Structures are given as C-alpha cells and as structure tokens.
Structure 1
Amino acid sequence: MRSRSPLHNHRLPLTPLLLAIAAMVPAAEPAVQPEAPGDTAVASQPGQAEVAADAKYTEALGRYRAGAFAETLDLVEQAVALYPPHRGAQQLRSDVLAVLSNRANRLRMAASWFGSLQDIRTQETAVRLSALLERGDKAMAAGDFAAAELDYDRVEIGIRSFPYKFDWGELPKQVADKRNAARDRARGAELQRQQDDRTAAAETARQQADLQAEALRLKVDELMRRATAAFNRKDYRRSEVEAWNAYELDRRREDARELYLDSRREGHYSFDVAYRVERTEGIARVAEEVHKSLIPQNELLVYPEDWQRRTLRKPREIGTSKAEPWMAALNDRMEQRVTFDFQDQSFEDVVTFLRQVTGVNIIVAPEVLAAAGGGTVTLKVRDMRFRDALKWILEITGHHMAIQDQAIFINNQPVTGAVVLRLYDVTDLITPVKDEPGAELAYSAASGGSGGGDLLGSSGGEETAAADPEALVTFIKNNVTKDAWDKDDVSIQQRSGSTLFVSQTPEGHELVAQLLANLRNQTAMQVNVSVRLLDVRKGFFEEIGVEWHNNPTNMISSPIANNSGVYNVTTNGNATSGSGTSLGGTLYQQLPGNATSIGYGITPTINLGQALPKGLVLEGFAQGFLGMDQVNAIFSAAEDETDATVLNHPQITCFNGQRANAAFIGQYAYIKDYEIVSSNYDPVIEVLNYGDLLDVRPVISSDRKYVTMEIRPTNVGLVGVFVEYIAAYQIVGNTGTTGGVVVPATFPIELPNVQVQTLRSTVMIPDRGSLLIGGFNR
C-alpha cells in the first residue's frame, strides 16, 4: 500500500523519484520495436521521452492527491503523449476520468478518488455517507421525516469531519437544506399528528358519550318497562322502587317521576284497603282463637329435646358393644381413595397392587389362584373408595370377600364369618298397639230398657290379641339367610316371652337387625287427626219495640207542660203546639208478626177480651204525650247474627292402623225401676249417656302421601223424658210389735228418649288434607 503524507497539499520531491524511475526503466521495459515512420523522431530518443513522461506523471500524481483533477488530467495527457506505454500515466488517467465522471455526485466522486488512492477507511466513510444520503432521500419520499433528518444530520457531520480537504461543491449546502426541510416537515407532521390525535380523541369522546347516553337510555327504559309491568299487575311497591331507580339515573325523565308518584299513591291506597281487610280478618281470627282457647284440648305429640340422641340407642346384645381396634383401623383404610387403570391384568397382580397401595392385608384362597390365576381384570377408576373399588373387582371376577381376623379374605365361594350370639328385644313387635274403638250404641228397646244406656258399655270392639313370638321367628327364618339356619352352629330361639337369642354370622346378624329395624319403622308411624265439632246455624235476630219500665213512677204518665193540648194523630209523626211546648202525638205500638209470639204479659186496657197482639203495647195507654226522655226510655233495639260455634276441638294421635276415638258425653240420671227392700220400694238409678262420639282408624299409604281413614261419627241427643207413675201401697210405722199403716202411694218411673245419628264410611284424603262431614241436626 502506498503511504500518504499527512500534509495533503505538499508536493512530492521529483528528483529522487525521477532518478529511481530512470534507473529502473532499462531493466523493466523490453526493447522498443520500430515505430511507424511518423514517430521516428520520438523513437530515436526513447530514453528522453520516458523520462519526460515520468516527470509529467509525477507532477500529475501530486496534483491528483491535492484534489486538482482538471490539472491532473492535463498533465497525465501530456505524459501519455510523451510516452504512451507509461503504465502509471495510463492508470492515473483512468482514475481521473472515473472521478470526473461522478462530478454530479460529490460523495461518489470522493469514493472513487479515495479508491484510486487505496485509502480504504476513507473510502468506506464516503460510501457510508453516500448511502446515508440516499436513505435520507428515500425516508423523505416515504414521509419518515424524523429518520430523514437524522440521516441528513449524520451526512452533514461526516462532511464536516472528513479527514481530507475535498472540494464538496454545493453538497454541504444541499445537505443542510435537506436537513432543514426534513426538520420542518417532521415538525409539521408532528403537529398534524397531534392535531389528528386531538380530533380522534374528540371523536372518541363524543362516541363514548353517545354510547353512555344510549346505555343510560336503554337502562332507564328497561327499568321503566319493569316498573310499568309491576304497576299493571298492581305490585305498586316494586313499581315504586323501579321507577325511583330510573328517575335517580336520569333526572330528566319526567315519565319516571310521574310513574313513581302514581305507584306511591296507588300503593298507599292499596295498603289502606288491604289493611282494612287484614284488620277485619285479624279481629275475626283473634275472636275465633279466643273462642277456641276456651275449649279444653290437647296439644300434638311433643318429643323430648334429646330425641335425636335417643334414636341412636342400640339394642342389647351379648359381647362387647364396641368394635375391636383392628376392625376400626381396617375400616378406616378401606375408606381411602384409590385411582388405577387395569387392562387385562391378572387377578394376582391386581391384589398385589392393592396390597402395596392401601397397606391392607389381603389373603386369597388357593382355590382362587388355582382356577386360571383368578381371572383377568379390566377396570379404570378415579378417586374411588377402596371398599367400593374392591367390590367392583370381585363383581367382575365372580369372587367373594369377608373381613375377619385382621385381614380381607377372598374366596370363590361365599365367605361366612364366625358365628356369634346376640340378643334382640322384640317386645314392641310382638305386643301390638291396642285399638280403642268407640262403643256401639244399643239400638234394642227391649224390656231391658237399655236404649242408649250402653253407650260406653261392653259392646265395644274386641281387643287385638298379642302376636305370637314363634310367628316372628318363622318370619325371620324364611326371609334372612334361609339356607343357613340348618347348620349346627346357627339357630334362633325365643325366650322370656319377648327376647330372641340368635346365633349367626356377622353378615346374618346385619340382615336380622335390618329386618327388625324395617319392621319397627313400619309400625312406628303415627297419624294426627284434628277434629272440630261445629254448631252451624245461619240465623239473624232483630227486634225493634217498646221497653216498658215506668221507672221512676209516673215517668211516662206524668203531666205534660202547660198550654199543650192533646193531639190525636192517626199516623206516626210528631206535632208541635208552639214555642216551648212538648212533642205531642198518639202512639199506636204494634210490631209485625216476626218479633215474638207472646205479648210479654201485657194486657191492653181497651177492647178487653181481644187476643194479645204479636208485639208490644203500652200498658194503660192508648194515647198520650211523650217527651224525649220518655221516648228514650221506651224504645229499644236488639240485633244478633250467628254463623257457627266451635263446640269441641280434639286432636287424636294414634299409630298407623290403630283405631281411636274421642267422646264428648253428658250424663242424665233417672229412675229406672224399683226394688222391694224391707217391704218398701227402693228406686233403681240408671245413668244415661248422650253427646258426640268420633271413631277413626287411619292407614298410611306406602308412598306416605295419602291416608285411608275409616270414620264413624255418632251423635246421641236427649229428646225428652216421659214420666209414668206406679200405684202401690206403702207400709208406714211398722214397729215390729204392732202392724203399720198401709197407705196408697205413687212411684214415678222415668222413660228417657234419645235421638241417635250415626255415619259409617271409609275415605282417602291427602296428607294434611281436610274432610267435612255434615247433616247432624240437633
């Protein structure tokens, strides 16, 4: 590589170089061939031409390095003209022409120049600046003014810091103009972008406001729709709340405000109406409850507070009632969760896997493994209890298991545990619930005279006989492990009347206990029957009449005021005689025939002997003068209305299928007959029972939804008592020494008559249903 001088404008010394070139030419250049005749003068002196051309070349090279390309071109042309074969001059001439050919692009010109000078680093700088300038132009064309400004700025800095004093021409000014233009365009683009952003933000805000307004409108419309629907179905409270919520969201909605006020107004009105109705109903209910509270009645069956704890009691049995520790530990391990996926695995491998995972002792009988290894298992479970998973595996393979002696034993035949003895108390099962039927009435009117008198006598239903314990034993043998009772160690015996001694395997004991529990659950159900005996009378009583007291004396017949004449008015009304006088008139009092059938003991003073009127009249008066106090003392009014009266309200609680009754009896003692005692008549007193009797037998359906009830209501009423007299003689004064006096006497015998009304029926009613029975007249 050629070395360059740090002083770019210093010309190279020519004399040593020319001498070196002159010394080297004879050896380096071949012999010159003869030229054409026109070049004879030059060829005759080849050494001088080469030296002159070399001198021109040396001067041109100095000017080239100084950057004077035009002068360099002239000098190198002269050198070539003096000595055409001069290679250095020809090469320099090519470099100068290459540089001058890029005069329009100073950077390319500089790159070509430094390339000819073999200054690689400076050439790279020029090429990089040229590339930056082109990239800046492209960025300007693409609209990326910030990048273009950055590239132009880098080009400008590169030109200012260029290591050679190069003639850049107008390039620095052009680069500065481009940089300023890019900066202005970038600032304008930034301003335009900011303006566009502000416009877009304003448009977005407007759209968001429109969306919020639309969402608010839709929300308010939905609330108004709900409020209107609630108002139409007269749910004014809901309508008021919805309308107020809508009005709170948008205070511009007058329709929401109006609907809120209308709902509030209608709600108050409906509340007043409902309150009046509820108040009237509440008063009626309170009166009814007060009336019912006056009737003695029993409450429903009340269980003790610790009943749940008592239900957990276990029946008595022989042996320890607490499970052994190994059994509890084994049961805990069988509750753990397992996950596996067996695909055609042998039974032995499955058992080995379960032993390792669960830690449970599993013993397999040799007969199981002898039969084809126990079979194969294909089963996939996830998070299943080990107890259930083992049951599925045994179900697939057809084997059986049993828990005994601290292990799980698996066999191909059903496995039975050791036989143990347990006692079962079955007193509640063999002692049936006693029926309590209502007594049948004696309809016979024979000489016994027992009509109605045997109401609560011995004519009731028969008591249910106690169950046979042997029947229960037979039932258990036929339904629990039927084939196992023939074995020597297995047995069941009934002793002490109500205790079963059962020797069975643990599995058999579980089945026996389950059977007895099911029997107890079936017989332990109870039914509550609420009964109301009503006296229904739809009656209305009204009375308007005269109340005659005459107290104090002469209150009604007292003289009237002075200057008051007697006015005989034939029609109802009043007459006045002037200022300060009393009311005058004639009172004709006679009520129509719907008030009473007797005249209350009043006898008219006129028309004696006539029939009593069906009303009230003034005693001793046909006409008179009545003042205000007299009128208030005479007239009276009364009104009464009766619908129904609760006579009795019993509640009967009985077992499923048990007959029970409720009786409301009154007693009447009467003289039935006479017995001869000491020569005299001694009366025989009998008691007659009458009243109401209800006999029921409820049977619960299997689905616990209905109750089939046998009902037998009976009403016995005392109609009247007829009295007959027996004429007989009675001995009076018998002292034993002298005879007594025999006097005639009469002895009464009472014959009561009763009215019997009864009903026999069987009905089915739903649970908590009601049944109305009517038609019993009093």
Structure 2
Amino acid sequence: MRKYRFPLFMLPALVLASCQSTDEEWFLEDFGWSDSEETTEAMETAAPDPTPTAPDLDEVTALTPAQDPINQAGLVNQRAELELHQAKTSLLSEQFVVLADNAFQRGDYKGAAMLYADALDLDPDSRASRDGLRRCEQQLAGNAWDVDSAEDRITQEQMRRANRRIHVSALVRDGDSAMAAGDFDTAVSAYQTAEMALRTSPSLAAGSLDYNLVSSKLTGASQARSDYIAARRDAEKAAAELEAQATRDARNNYLSNRVRSLFQDANRYFTRGKYTDAVRVLDALLELDPVNKEALDLRLVANAAWHATRQRDTDTSFRQQWKATFDELRTMAIPPKNIIEHDIDYWRETVLKRDSLDKMVSAAEVDPGEAAIAELLASTRIEARFENTIEEIADNLAAYTRVNFVVSRAVREDMDEDVKTINLSFSRPMPVAQILSIIEDMTQGQLRFVIRNGVVNVLTAEEAVGGNILNKYEVRDIVRPIQDFVGIDVNLAPSGGIELIEEELPEREAKVLSEDDLLAAIQENIEPDSWDDTATVTIENGTLIVNAPPATQDRIKSLLGDLRLSSNIMVEIKVSFLKVEDSFLQDIGVDFRGLGNDSTSGIAGKGDDFVFDDFGTDPGSPGAPGTLGTGNDSGMYFREASDNVNIIARTENLYDSGLGNEDGLVGSGGLSLQYTFLDDTQLNMVLRAVEKSVRREVLTEATLTVSNTQRATLTVANQVSYVGDFDVEIAQAAAIADPIVRIARDGVYLDVRPVVSADRRFTYIDVRPTVATLVRPIPSFQTSLGTGSPVTMQLPELKLQKIATRVMIPDGGTLLLGGMKIINQQNLESGIPLLNRIPILSFFFSRKGEYESYQKLIILLSARIIVPEEFEPSAEPGSAR
C-alpha cells in the first residue's frame, strides 16, 4: 500500500477526518454497498471508469415512458423510512454512550470500549463515541494513535468513496442498457436509485456522473414508458373497434349466407338420393325464412321422392330377407371355426350402438367446461416444489395452468396454518391433477379441490360435501354366485355293495364379492369419511344405488370395472386321450387229425372212422383240451391185409396260452387247408396259417368352456341297463326271482375347475378326465335258486382310463398329464420232439406262433383363456367405436 507523509501538526485534523463518516455512507450501506476487501481490490485492479455518454434528451423522451406516480410515492416512502431508521439508530447510540461513560468512570475500560464501539457502529457520526473509544484505548494501551494508522484510514476512506462512485456509475450504465433494450421499467428503477444516491451524497458527482444529467435521463425514461403504455392502449382500442365492426358485418351477412348454404346442402342431399336429409335441411331453412317460395316447392318435391324411394327400398328389403332366410338355413350345418362366433352385421348395427346399463340410468350430465378443466389439469405437468401456504400454491398453479383457483373463506380464516402450509418437493414433472390429489392425502382430506362453476375451488372437507348426484350400477355379475356342477365317479357297483355318495360342494356366496363385502369395500376405500353424512350407497336387487359427488362416482365406476376384469374371463379346456398301437401276429402249423366222419353237420369226412379208445373216456374238447388234444379222432391209419397190424396216429400242436390279445390281434381267420390221402395208409393233414398286423391311432378329445373359478362337468356317455342281482321272494313253497336292474355307463367324462392367474398368462386347473369302455357283449351266467328254473345274471366289465390332478398350464399351451405304455411279446412253438428239428420235415410236425404288440396311451391337456372383448369384431373404418 502506498503511504503518504504529512506534517505532524496535521495529525489531529487527519484523525478527525478519518473518524468522520460521510453523509452518503448510511444511504449506500442501506442499499447493500459494502467496503469489503474484494471490492477494494477490484477497484484497484479495474480499468478507469469510462465516462458514460448521455443520450440525447429527445431520443430518451421518444423511447421511455413518463415517470410513474406510483414510483414517486415509493421514493417518498423510502426516504421517510430512512429518516426514521437514522433517528432510531442515533437514539440507541446515545444510550450506549451513556452506559460507556458510566463504565469508564468505574474504571471498566475494556467494557466501556466495547460499548463505545457498539455506539460507533450504530452512529458513525457520533463524536462522543469516538472520543470515548480513544480515551479507552489510551488507558488500555497507552498509545492509541500513530501516523501510519491515520494514513491508512485516509487511504481507506478514499477507496470507499471511489467504490460508491463506481456503483452509481454502474446504475447509470444499467439504465442506459435497459433503455436501449426497450425495458423501460428497469431503466426507470436504475435511474431513480442513481438519482437518490447523488441527491443524498453530492460529493459522489464528478465528471460525467452529474445529478442533473441523471435526473434528465430519469425524466426521459419515465416519459418513454408513459408513451409506450399509451401507444399500446391505442393499438388495443383500434383492434377492439375493428373486431366489433367485423362482428357486426358477420351478423349482417349471416342470414343470407345461411340461406345460401342450406340451399346448397339440400341440393347436394337431393342429388345423392338422401331425401330425408334434404327435407330436414329445407325445414331448417323455412325456420329462418318461412315464406321462401323456392324452399316450399323443393320440400314438396323431396317429400314425394322420399315416399317413392321408401316403397322401392321395402320391395328390395323383402327380396333380400327372403334370400337371407334360406342362406341361413344352408349355413347352419357348418361348424364354427372359433371359440366365439359373432354375427358381424348384427354386432356393428345393434350391439355397438347399445349403451351400458350404468350409462343409461345415470342422473348426471357431465359439464363440458368442468371436463375441459379436468383435462387441462391432467395434461399440465410441473415440478412440485412447494413450502408455502395453500393460498400461495393456488396462485402459482393458476399461473401455470391458466385456470382460476378460488380459496374459500373457511380455508383462509378458520383452517390452521400448520394444515395450510404444504411442504412438497419432487424432482420430476407430474400432472397438476396428481399434485392436487397428493395435497389432499397430505392434509388427510381436510383440504379438497373441487371443480365447480368453471373454477377450481379450494374447500374444507365440510364445504366439499355437496353437489351429490344419484347413479345406479348393475352389479349382478359381481354379487350373484355362479353354479358349480359336480361330476360323477364312473364305476360299477358290486352286488350288495355300498352305493357311492355324490360329492357336495359348499355353496358360493358371490361370483366376486358378496353384497356386504362390496359395500364395505366402497365405504372403506373410497372417501371413508363421507358416507356417514350426505353420501349414501346401497344394493337393491343386484343394482348398486349411489348418491355421492361426481368424483366419488368416477372412483366407484373404476372399482367396478376392475372387479369385472376377472369375472368376465372364461377358459376353454381340452382333454385328449391318444392311444397309439402297432401289433403283429403270425401263426403257422400242421396237424394230422380228423380222419373219418366225426362231424354231425356238413360233408362227411373221408376215410375210416377209427378213434383212440385207450386214453380214457374224456379225450378233451376244443374249449378244454385233454391228453390227446381237442378230440380222439385219428390222423393216420395203417392196416395190413391180414389185419394183423393196425397203426393209428394223431398229431395236434396246441399252445398252453392263447396267441394274441383280445384288445389287439387274435389268431382267427387266415388259411385253413385239409388234405386227405386214402390208400393202405390213410392220412388226413390240416394246415393252419394266419398273419395279421395293425397300426392305429385312436383319439378321444373332450372340450369344455367354463367360467373362471367355476367347477363344470362334461358327459358324453351311453347308459346300458343289465340285470345285476335278484331279490328272492318266497311264497307258498315257491321262490320268485325279482330282478334288480342296474345301469352301466361308458363314454367320456370330464370334471374341471380352472383358476386364471392375475397376469392372465397361466391357468391352474383341477382336472379329472375319465374314459370308460364297456366290454360287449356283457358276460352272463346262470344260477339256481334251489327251486324253480335257473336265473341268468350279467357281470359287466368296464375298462377305465382316468386321471385326477392339479396342474398349471400357460395360455394356449398343451400339457402332458400322463400316459401308459403296454408292450406284449409272444413267441410260442409246439411240435414233436426230434421231428420238429429236422429241416423241411419240421414244417409238418410243428406249429410256430409269434405276436408283438406295442401300445401307448397319452393324456393331453390344453387350455386357452377367453376374454370376450378380444373376440369382438373390429369396428368399421371411420366409425366412432
């Protein structure tokens, strides 16, 4: 820092000058100008302040409006406040000086110095506080003043003056820039502040920083602002006059243009054959001009044309209906392709135009203005950063949305400030409607925002109650229970057995919610505090009757729609039993038997009738072969001429078990060849050869469509009656058999219960499919009752294929429930020892059979979720729905 040396005799004067505060210091400090070190350094390093060029007075007058009287009144108020502030600080400074004098007299120099310093801070012009502070410093340090400190004080004072002058110059430059940009309000404010600073501190004026020049700039800026306001007012007035004149001209030309337009519309409709529309347009024209002769004549012509067209359309419609009737009869036999089939024409012409029951019984009409306000609140997105009262928030939201917000008197005067003060901070933009809902939740319903009479009303909970409307909702599809159907367990009841008891399911209370549960859900979740006062809700005969405000009605309608999402779902379930079989059978053998006539019918056999009589009296039968086989006839006979040698032989190759399977292939049919040779040696040969193969696939599929969570059954079966038992009635030594007739069922049975998952992508299914096959003919047997003739009873045989399980299956997918594999392999051989091993000769003394069967049973489950809305036909192009 540069130091200046002064003679010693000037030290007291310099000290007094350094302790004096300039008359403009209080003003500049009150406006926020401080003597910080940063400001001092900036002043020392800054370039010399260029002298601002004052604009021409005429140019300023042309650009700036006149001085605003409101701003002049503001300056007077500021000056009065400054004078009052100075008087208060001077009085308080004097009180601190009195307290400091008392402390100095008591010898408390340190305390007195602090009090003098406080007084000097309040009033820098107080000479008493400065003298007292100097005395305290002398008493405490013994040397309170030196030349260096005085020089430093003078230098600081010069820097403060230069800093204040820079601030005033900056204000003038800001005003000049604002004038050049056309911001007259900013220019007037800057010039007013600079003028007041120069008026209160004339010592700041130097060079181009002149009070008169700044005052002339202020006058020019005020005049330019006034001219701008006047010019804008004149332009708005001229525009309003032009608009009014245009409205009058349009009103004058409306009638003639309207009549001309209606004539054109009537002509266009008549040309296109739309005579009804033409008559309607001409009627509207006659309402404007009842004596228009051309309109009257045209209406008579259009009316006559309409009658002729109506007669022609009636004839055409009769012919079309006649043809459509027979087309319908021809197409009724065609099976449907989809799960749900729609009559497209009927759907588009009738169903789509049908209003829902909720809409038809609604007692309230939606105000278009309120709907537009609600749409605007839902579409306007802002960042919610509030820590204000509800009145300030309402003003801000009104500025953002351009919708009027009206705060009721009860909210302004009666509601607690803690409730009205909202602290809300979100970093992402959100709709204003959502912000209002969050505020209602934060105040626990004490504040309500209600759209009414074209504005958003900010009301208390008591004031918001009102404006109720009565509406009715059809809820039978929600509260009425669906019927469950229990399937039967297919089986045969044995004689004297216990009959099966049918399963009984608990009765459902409702399809989705019962009436009490639905009322509780509404009252507990939608405006819980409003149902005890004016709003009411009840259910009568499946109709929900609600008397509540429109906002509550909308929430109830939304809740009912959500409940119906799951109740309208159906599931198509398919269970397939696929049986695959690949079987082969071969049986080849030669027997020597059958000589002579051993038959009671047909052609007599050749050869002598010699039989085996040395092997017992029971040679066997085809049903129960004995030692010799199925009989005692011979197959080869040799006798000498002297009858001394008789040789009888017989061969019959039998299997211990039957070849094949009754469910597959059996060894019947094929080639049967009998050859007889008669000579000294008689020979009868029987050749049996058969070969069979089969490959087949048998598919049994049951399909059932059922509502979600409902238990349903499908039965496609035959019922066969049979005599299963007898009741014996004894009377007068006679026994009478009273038959007991039972029922055997076979066919396809399906018992299912689907439950669709919440995301409607999977289905949980309790499934119990059954395929029952009754073996025919039904076996029977006879038994004796002891007396009288025997009775015949039947013993049916039932083959069952069934499974019971619970599975989860994706929508439209197929799941393998289970299955069974059956493999049957038989390789049988019967022959005479030794002879059946000799090539070629073994063919005549053996029988070989081979049977192979491969079977596989697969049970498949398919499920498809049906949402009726997805099957609706698409609307015609250009239609409203």
So what's the TM-score if we normalise by structure 2?
0.38
Normalising by structure 1, we get a TM-score of 0.42
Larger radius of gyration: 1
